[in-house]
Amino acid sequence: MACWGLAGHCLGPALAGLALGNDEVLVFLVAMLGGGFLQQVWARKQSDL
């Protein structure tokens, strides 16, 4: 998973960090979810071609 190499977080520990109120982890999770959403939109557009 690319998130570990790019941001230094794995999903499980990131969720635990979010529970502790870590702002850096919140930014990471929002970016990860946003990237996943954008990838889905891009993949749908590619399949329509």
Q: Which ranges of 1-49 does DSSP label H, i.e. alpha helix? A: 2-7, 11-19, 23-48
- Quick: pLDDT tens for 37-49: 999 999 999 988 7
User: Where do the domains of the chain lie?
Assistant: 10-48
- Quick: pLDDT tens for 3-45: 556 667 777 888 888 888 888 888 888 888 898 899 999 999 9
Cα–Cα distances in Å, from 26 out to 2, 6, 42?
Answer: 17, 15, 24
Q: Whole-structure pTM over 0.75, yes or no?
A: no
Q: Is 2's pLDDT higher than 70? A: no
